[in-house]
Amino acid sequence: MDTLIQFAYVVSGALFIFGLKQLGSPATARRGNMISSLGMLLAVVSALLDQGIVEYQWIVVGVLVGAIIGGAAARMVQMTAMPEMVALFNGSGGMASLLVGWAALNTDAATFTLVTIILSILIGGVTFTGSLVAYGKLSEKIGSGAVLFSGQQVVNSLIVLGILAGSVMFCLEPANHLWLYLVIVLSLIFGVMAVIPIGGADMPVVISLLNSYSGLAACAAGFAVNNNILIVAGALVGASGIILTQIMCKAMNRSLSNVLFSGFGSGKTETTAVEGEIKPISVEDAYYVLEAASTVAIIPGYGMAVAQAQHVVKELSVLLEANGAEVNFGIHPVAGRMPGHMNVLLAEADVPYDQLLEMDEINPRMEGVDVAIVIGANDVVNPAARENEGSPIYGMPVINVDQARTVFVLKRSMASGFAGIENPLFYKDNTRMLFGDAKESIGGLVREFS
């Protein structure tokens, strides 16, 4: 029986792998997620059949509570609040690993096991509080700025030293619970300390990284309770988080350590000298220009998520197409606040995914575009990244909307985007600013058309 259960884990590992494979293409992604959840079901059922289990009541209570909370959260969350949601789930997974590591402790464990226990507690704890802080910053429940204070590095170094010392002592004297509690408390504190100096807009990177950590915590827990499937699944998650982190850093042209340690976006703005004047445009005038356009590119950004404008954007694109124009969407890899954020929002509004072009696809076509409509995007269309060597985002690849014949920029004010820098795009000759909430502005255009 036990061997059978173990082989069931092998199968469920294979299902996770298959599932992730199928997640690689939009056409099969949904099936992939099902397959992966099937793997999870199989693993859980196998675990329940284990003969070591004598009492089911607490398991059932735990599962019920968890399922209700998780299910309700998943049903009710708005697509625009996806990043926060993932952060919370992440934290919950991290805490679970911490608890498993703790519970797996018994005083006659081998040193190897003790090491893995302390690792799962440590990583789990950091993931838990780190994710909570990330959630707070993203949802603006706490200030989203970078918190920096003098002596921060000293404090952090002390915490790390404390964790190291506590861990070593724990492995030497597992019977003395003091060391265990010390490590638990310090790792929870460390999670907070590690995330507070990072600006709110960098949270997606942090979340990806914490996602990876939650996988590694599961791995460590797997070593602690000697379970293969935890290791396989945890490692897969660990790899996925690291890759997403890399992708984001690359798209922002920053290194991971720069994101984690530099407090970028903490208010220190570097002004770019800009020339030219701002030319606002009214909804009506914008309508006349669009009416005559035969190719239109729509570039959404974080502002579209804030305004929840995805549905009216879809309406507008349909009207433009009915009017004979070719409409494409240009999606920058870090537009929004999470990798793939724009894709999910536009998918919600029923925009077919083959109409969404990646940056590398849309840029070569930009010169042939009559009107580029920038909806709540700012940094990802900032030509300073291309032109101004002194700019803090210099070198970051951007969507070259300024090469289109006319550019409409929809935003509420002249405020800067997440990077806190001026955008020379707004001052270019071919740019018109359509001020106002994106949903309202686009709604106005839609009314003009119909």
Ligand X SMILES: NC(=O)c1ccc[n+]([C@@H]2O[C@H](COP(=O)([O-])OP(=O)(O)OC[C@H]3O[C@@H](n4cnc5c(N)ncnc54)[C@H](OP(=O)(O)O)[C@@H]3O)[C@@H](O)[C@H]2O)c1
Among 263, 359, 379, 397, binds ligand X (CB under 6 A): 379
Partner whose footprint covers residue 330, from other proteins, ligand X, none (CB < 5 to 8 Å by kind): none
* Shortest spacing between CB 330 and other proteins, in angstroms: 12
* Shortest spacing between CB 357 and ligand X, in angstroms: 16
Check if 50 is active-site.
Answer: no
- H or E element in which residue 158 lies: helix 152-172
* Shortest spacing between CB 285 and ligand X, in angstroms: 18
* Between 234 and 265, CB nearer to ligand X: 265
* Shortest spacing between CB 220 and ligand X, in angstroms: 27
Residue 281 as a binder of ligand X (CB under 6 A): the answer is no
Among 298, 356, 372, 396, binds other proteins (CB under 8 A): 356
Among 252, 369, 372, 434, binds ligand X (CB under 6 A): 252
User: Which pairing describes strands 356-358 and 406-411: parallel, antiparallel, or unpaired?
Assistant: unpaired
- H or E element in which residue 387 lies: helix 384-387
Q: How far is residue 343's CA from residue 336's CA, in Å, rounded to a whole number?
A: 10
The residue whose two tokens read 């190291």 is 164
The first and second tokens of residue 60, run together, are: 């059932």
Exactly one of 379, 402, 429, 437 is catalytic; name it.
Answer: 379
Kindly report the CA angle at 239 between 72 and 91, in degrees rounded to 5? 35
| Strands lying side by side in the sheet with 295-300 | 356-358, 326-331, 295-300, 371-375, 406-411, 431-435
According to DSSP H, which parts of 262-375 are helical? 283-292, 302-307, 310-322, 341-348, 359-362
Residue 255 as a binder of other proteins (CB under 8 A): the answer is no
How many DSSP H helices and E strands does the chain contain? Answer: 17, 6
User: 327 to 366, contacts with ligand X by CB under 6 A?
Assistant: 334-339, 341
Neighbouring CB atoms inside 10 A of 71's CB total 10
Q: How far is residue 271's CA from residue 49's CA, in Å, rounded to a whole number?
A: 64
* Between 22 and 391, CB nearer to ligand X: 391
Q: How far is residue 450's CA from residue 287's CA, in Å, rounded to a whole number?
A: 11
User: 368 to 427, contacts with other proteins by CB under 8 A?
Assistant: none
* Between 31 and 311, CB nearer to ligand X: 311
Residue 137 as a binder of ligand X (CB under 6 A): the answer is no
Secondary structure of residue 67 in the 3-state scheme: helix
Secondary structure of residue 435 in the 3-state scheme: strand
Residue 205 as a binder of ligand X (CB under 6 A): the answer is yes
* Shortest spacing between CB 209 and other proteins, in angstroms: 11
Q: How far is residue 266's CA from residue 270's CA, in Å, rounded to a whole number?
A: 12
Determine the interface stretch with other proteins among 42-50, 264-272, 273-281, 406-414 (rule: CB under 8 A): 42-50
Partner whose footprint covers residue 411, from other proteins, ligand X, none (CB < 5 to 8 Å by kind): ligand X
Residue 96 as a binder of other proteins (CB under 8 A): the answer is yes
Q: How far is residue 383's CA from residue 42's CA, in Å, rounded to a whole number?
A: 51
Buried residues in 279-296 as b, exposed as e (16+ CB within 10 A): eebebeebbeebeebebb
User: 220 to 249, contacts with ligand X by CB under 6 A?
Assistant: 248
Per-residue binding string, other proteins, 48-67, x by CB under 8 A, is: x-x-xxxxx-xx-xxx-xxx
* Shortest spacing between CB 384 and other proteins, in angstroms: 23
Determine the interface stretch with ligand X among 161-169, 220-228, 351-359, 370-378 (rule: CB under 6 A): 370-378
Catalytic residues: 379
Which residues of this chain interact with ligand X, rule CB under 6 A?
Answer: 201-202, 204-205, 248, 252, 301-303, 306-307, 334-339, 341, 376-380, 410-413, 415, 417-419, 437-438
